[in-house]
Amino acid sequence: MAGRVRQPIDERAFTAYLSNNVPEIKTPIELKQFGFGQSNPTYQITAADGQRFVMRKKPPGKLLSKTAHKVEREYRIMHALEKTDVPVPRTYCLCEDESVIGTPFYIMEFLDGRIIEDFTLPGVEPEVRREMWRQAVLTLAKLHAVDFREVGLESFGKGSGFYNRQIKTWITICASQSRAVDVETKEPVGQLPHFDETVDFFKDEKWQPRDRATLVHGDFKIDNLVFHKTEPRVIGILDWEMSTVGHPLSDICNFLTNFFTARHAGATPNDTSGFLPGRTPGLPQPEDILGWYSGEAGWDPSPDMGWGMAFNIWRLAAVCQGIAARYAARQASSEKAKNYVVTVKPLARCAWTLAKEVRDGKSMANIRPHYTLIAPHRDALARETAQAACAAMSTRRRIQLVQPDERRPLLTSRDSDRIEGAEGASDPLYSCRTDPHSHLPVYTNIHRIRRDIISVVEDYLSLTQLTDVRINVTVVRPLVDKFYELDDISIVYCLLVNRAQFLEEQASLTNRQNVNWTRATLCELIATRILRRFNEDYEGSEGLLLLSHILVAGFEPFQNAPPQIREEASRNTSWSQRTLPSLEVAILTESKHFLSSTTCQKVVSAIYDGRIIYTPSTFWDIIPDHYKQKPISLYDPRESPLLNQYRLIVPRTRSFLESIQFSILLTLYVCVMIKKRKDEIAFLEVCFAVYAFGWGLDQFATILAHGWNVYTQNLWSFLDVAFILIYSIYMVLRLQGQRTGDLGTAEQAFDVLALGAPVVIPRLAFTLLSDNLIFLSLRSMMADFFALTALSAWCFFGFLLSLLWLGENAHSITKISSWMIYIWFGLDGVGIERSTHLLTPPPSEFHRFLGPSLMVAFAFLGNTLFLTILVSMLSNTFSTISSNAVAEMQFRRAVLTLEGVKADAVFAYQPPFNILAVFLFLPLKFVVSPRWFHKIHVATVKFINLPVLLLIAIYERRLLWSTHRGNARTQKSFWQRWHLSASTNLRGVFQIPPPEDIFEDIAVDDDLTRHLIRRQFMRQTSSANESRKAPQTPSRRDSMFPGIRKRLRGSFAETEEFDGVSARLDSMEKSMMRLEGLVFRLLEREGTAVAENEGMEGSSDSMLTGESTAGFTAEPSFYGATQSEDVSD
């Protein structure tokens, strides 16, 4: 994905160059930088007409290798291959003038296709996977079949001695790279392991392959190919930096590297076990690939594979060593460079192991493909495979990724650091990585954040104090800068995890409650601001997609933790671990400030409307169907199939369908209670029982999907649970009465069911008025009310026992309880009258004095005091919620949105069809394969929900997306045409960008503005400092953030040099008066006689001398300053 420019260039000079030399690119342009590209920084150019192009340039600074980073060679070979059948991007220009942007660069076509990072393609069907690999091999054979002399590349490289030149070149490169020193640690990169032994083996001509001369790519592999968006064919080859004329064995071995490094642990930073035989269905093995290549090229490379693979892996180790050297010099253009540094030594050892096998005769002699070079039936098989793959690809438009057994990642979409942006594209691009963010150091970031937060916060601070300008400048902003500069989208998740831990410690550690609350609040505040910065730096559809990755991509706390830590955690924690998104962690920790932020609500609204689609992680699925996972992507209704079953689980659609479901349930409930028949079960009651069971099953599946903690955050969750309990008791009594024929039991069943009316009727109001302030506060107020009532009843139970024992069983416990309840609610005072013996002649009912005393004390405590406390508590609760009503509403909206995104297949069936689905599909899951289970499930969903899916498709295509945009344009055009809106002109001043001269005029006073702001800030704090006569020793609290940058400290100390400006100006004024007197005296001497004016001159001289002396002694430093100013003037 293209994002912010990490290596800025002179965009003005670059735009001017494009205007003069590349007419295809319309200016002005928008420039972004891709996250990939370890060697040459790569940029995306978006022209004024919306067309996109790609620019690659050399990295800045001193280059470690003279042969690397040759963008000129990339341009030359791609330009030469444009007229052949080898798929390459179209090139537009090559600029070798370093004065334009500092380094040479070239511009090429932007290929709108798929760039696949995981070579095993875990999300495609086996036949598609096999065909895509076959097309890649055939593309390589086409490249090797090109006559480099006919395309004008005869001077592109020497036709013989390729491997000897390669050995010599890489020896030189390795020597140069090994001497590179890290700019921070001052440690050298070092030489490759077994370097001398491996080089001696490669130099031995006895083992070298015979010379062949073709065009070679130098880095031919899956992730350097661009595949068609819907078909399994290659539309472009990228990254020609290492291309030359050489031996075709080099490309073949490079293409097969993962099959051999998979046998050596640590050779790659990623898991390559899927390349082992039998691990990935449909993935071809080396013998299949060699067979396809030989059939197309007419040359069998298998006898030389052992030597070639050893050299290729050794060269790959040298490439990683070069990345390590550039990272040591901080010239690497990608944050992923660190991941390749650790693979240098394992790769070198792997190459040496293969070399020893070749030398000892244990090499690849056993890898003999079972094929013949001319096999007519192979072409027919290839055509059948291609047709099957195309048919499979045409049934869906996106790559769906298979979920691993050990994890349930949310993110199965494109890698944010790899795919060439999709803003404005009709069909998003996806990476085939199972979890593109699996490399992020979540475990390390969690503990990094915890250390920094603990070191900063040592006292209690409220949210208002944390947002104060001084705390913001000295504490919050430096932490936000530090964490944001990590360029890690998991940092928001890590901050919220730390917030959860601090809140947990607040509940358990009573002596640190306030401090832990402040630390938790600071984590939430930093997470909010980091999310806002991502929103500001990444705009458009790409920015929305990135924000959705931040909030709904799944992470787990022990991601990339050391193996021993993961082992210990697996022993100490629960039996299962689930990846959680940041949005769910925010809900669990009730981070209302974070959830109510504009950026977070932007993503929540997009998820709720269905513009962002993904498959969430779940605790438990009733009907698990994980054959295809929905990646995090942007939804376009015109690019999706007409009957899209995934639109049934969009939160907005789910909310509408759930409202209809509850309305049906309420209607059936009312009809059953009106027409209830105790002697038999009527058809209407059967419909109600079945439908209510399906509705309860849907609620139960919701609890399993997101957990009880998230489910209970819903406003009406307690009403749903209450009705399910009432319905369950009703069904037990009703079935028991029907079995025994007892009408009394049947009557009890309807009596219990009647208790559901106080539940379902308010539930309808909660559904229709969910954003009302009364209903928002009612949930919390009811919780407080029941808590206080239960506590009061517990305390007043002592009064009940005392009265019971004082009465000596004269009255039953039920009778006394009723008297006390009447007194509690202020309904009746019979209990007080009976306890005073005024109306009761028997003197032994209660004690003469203690009985009335207890009753009156209970009346005061139970009625007056209880009501006073209750009203005060509920008033405080309502005041707190109403003061932050917007945040409360947005928090509930986030809960509804998260609950609305479903992954369980049971949610695709509306009640009561979900009952049939459970009883039919659960046994079927153990009978058929996952693929057929998915096909049967999708077909059933589309058949059952056919009218609903058609209505959704029409609504989204014709009404929602189309009409909304059309009305906006029509309304704007109408008001602008008739000039009936005053806000049009106000908005228009910001819609037209100002010219450059206006910006230059504005930029003149930037420094002055910043200085005035800093001076005003310093002036507010200086008065308090001046009142302190004795300096105080800085305490530990005063230096709570010792890592403030020097330029930040300078913003406070910069105004100190202006403290004596007034006195200096006074001295300068006196000096100027002295100079004026001297000039006047000289003129007087020249125009008049000395003798006649001696007295006046003497008096004037004495006067001026006194003034000048005073001026010199007052501020001698300004004499030189004045002289310099006069000279300059």
Collapsed DSSP state (helix, strand, coil) of residue 338? helix
pLDDT tens by residue, 1021-1046 = 444 444 444 444 444 333 334 444 44
Hey, is 856 helix, strand or coil? helix
pLDDT recorded at residue 269:
65
Q: Is 627 helix (H, G, I), strand (E, B) or coil?
A: coil
pLDDT on residue 724: 92
* Residue 304 per-residue DSSP state: G
* Amino acid 454: pLDDT: 92
> What is the SS3 string spanning 957-1011?
HHHHHHHHHHHHHHHHHHHHHHCCCCHHHHHHHHHCCCCHHHHHHHHCCHHHHHH
How many helices (H) and strands (E) the chain has is answered by 46, 15
Identify the CA nearest to 90 among candidates 58, 116, 53: 53
- Mean pLDDT on 783-802: 81
pLDDT at 507 over 70: yes
> So what's the pLDDT on residue 969?
45
**What pLDDT, on the 0 to 100 scale, is given for residue 107?**
94
Give the pLDDT of residue 1077: 77
CATH placement of domain 127-394? 3.90.1200.10
Q: Which of 3, 16, 37, 34 is nearest to 95 (CA)?
A: 16
- pLDDT(527) > 90: yes
Q: What are phi and psi for residue 93, nearest 5 degrees?
A: -165, 160
* Mean pLDDT for the stretch of residues 26-37: 80
Residue 590 has pLDDT above 50, yes or no: yes
Superfamily designation of domain 2-110:
Phosphorylase Kinase; domain 1 (3.30.200.20)
Q: Which residue has the tokens 């430093």?
A: 1117
pLDDT digits 0-9 by tens, 1081-1127 = 776 655 544 444 444 344 434 333 343 333 333 333 333 333 333 33
Digit-coded pLDDT (tens) for 628-681: 777 788 887 777 788 888 888 888 888 888 888 889 999 999 999 988 888 788
Please check the confidence at residue 530 and state whether its pLDDT lies above 90. Answer: yes
Per-residue pLDDT for 198 more than 80? yes
Separation CA 1047–CA 619 (nearest Å): 49
Same fold, 2-110 and 127-394: no
* Percent of the chain's residues with pLDDT above 90: 16
**Where do the structural domains in the chain lie, given as residue ranges?**
2-110, 127-394, 442-565+573-640, 775-897, 949-991, 1063-1128
Take residue 1105 and report the two structure tokens written for it.
């001398």
Cβ atoms of 417 and 334 within 8 Å: the answer is yes
For 240-273, the pLDDT digits (tens) are 888 889 899 989 998 998 888 887 766 676 667 7
Q: In the predicted model, is pLDDT for residue 784 greater than 60?
A: yes
pLDDT band at 64 (very low <50, low <70, confident <90, very high): low
Bigger pLDDT: 6 or 178? 178
Q: Give pLDDT tens digits for 293-307.
A: 998 888 888 888 888
Q: Please determine, for residue 134, whether its predicted confidence score (pLDDT) is greater than 90.
A: yes
Does position 337 have pLDDT exceeding 60, yes or no?
A: yes
- The encoded tokens of residue 917 equal 């689905």
Q: C-alpha dihedral over 324, 326, 328, 331, to 10 degrees?
A: -140
For the ranges 58-62, 426-430, 461-465, 804-808, the lowest mean pLDDT is seen at 426-430
Whether residue 860 contacts residue 829, with contact meaning beta carbons closer than 8 Å, is answered with no
Dump pLDDT digits (tens) for 985-1026.
566 666 666 776 676 666 655 555 555 545 544 444 444 444
pTM for this predicted structure: 0.52
pLDDT digits (tens, 9 = 90+) for 1047-1083: 444 443 444 444 566 667 777 777 788 777 777 777 6
User: Which residue has tokens 């459970």?
Assistant: 918
Number of C-beta neighbours around residue 347 at 10 A: 27
| Conformation bin of residue 620: beta by default, left when phi > 0, alpha when psi is -120 to 50 | beta
Mean pLDDT of 330-355: 75
| Cα separation, 1109 vs 1071, whole angstroms | 9
How many CA atoms does the CB half-sphere of 373 hold within 13 Å? 7
Identity at 323, one-letter amino acid code: I
Average pLDDT over residues 506-533: 85
Indicate the pLDDT class of residue 491, thresholds 50, 70 and 90.
Answer: very high
- pLDDT value at residue 164: 87
Tokens of 606: 């997009």
The pLDDT tens digits of the residues spanning 381-405 come to 344 444 444 444 443 333 333 333 3
Tell me if 625 sits within 8 A of 527, measured CB to CB: no
Cα 788 from Cα 721, distance rounded (Å): 22
Residue 25: its pLDDT value, please?
92
Mean pLDDT of the chain: 75
506 compared with 1098, residue with greater pLDDT: 506
Q: Are 71 and 56 in contact (CB under 8 A)?
A: yes
* Stretch 935-959: mean pLDDT: 85
What residue spans of 146-219 are helical by DSSP H? 162-178, 195-203
Q: How far apart are CA 483 and CA 477, in angstroms?
A: 10
